[in-house]
Chains A and B, each alone.
Chain A
């Protein structure tokens, strides 16, 4: 089944403890992206990747890192999480960035205490 898989689904952590949210797609998509969703602010893009080894900042990249060493994986790294990073995170992928629908993962609800 074609899908974007995120893990974990829920995560509670403490300020400053490094964490990684994994994202994997099995559709051989070139484009992958991370979004965060907050009440009243909608979906905001954190980072995106046009292809392997190519990553770019989105609208809200501060406090996050990503890597794209393989086509299928696009992990989101929080080196030193803070409470303002408490949010619902989505990974998405598509063949290309233009004229292609995005496939979304089920989301990761992160709480930073």
Chain B
């Protein structure tokens, strides 16, 4: 199945610092989703991107999908302890049919005081 590569695998940042997480595919992405997961809990939807060059923001989190629709980045500005968790990207690599979402392996974010 299609693989999504996430980087870095883990990240430790000091509170107040900015950070970026990347999600890369070898195929065109027809829908790119970002989720956040608190340890051992369910996934919470953050944002969905569909168009090349699209950018969305929610509070201090901004997600972008590149023009070629093969890479997305998630940027957190002025990180806070509440941002800690696992961030996962999920993607659709076909426009129709029975192909469901595939997920990256996640990026574990820790925010320290």
Contacts and interface: CB of A to CB of B under 8 A. Distances in A.
Interface of A: 31, 33, 35, 40-43, 45, 48, 50, 56, 58-59, 88, 90, 92, 97-99, 101-107, 109
B71 to A, nearest CB: 18
Nearest to A102: B101
Q: Secondary structure at chain A's binding surface: helix, strand, loop or mixed?
A: strand
A107 B41 contact: yes
Nearest to A50: B98
B48 interface: yes
B88 interface: yes
B82 interface: no
B104 to A, nearest CB: 6
A102 B107 CA distance: 19
A43 B42 contact: no
Nearest to B101: A102
B95 A98 contact: yes
A31 B99 CA distance: 12
B98 A106 contact: no
Interface string B33-74: 101000011111100101000000000000000000000000
B103 A43 contact: yes
Given A98-B92, A99-B31, A102-B90, A42 B106 contact: yes
Given A42-B106, A107-B40, A98 B45 contact: no
Contact of A45 (B44, B88, B100): B100
Give the most central of A31, A98, A107: most B CB within 10 Å.
Answer: A98
A104 B96 contact: no
Contacts of B99: 97
B45 A40 contact: no
A93 to B, nearest CB: 11
B105 interface: yes
Contact of B105 (A40, A56, A102, A105): A40
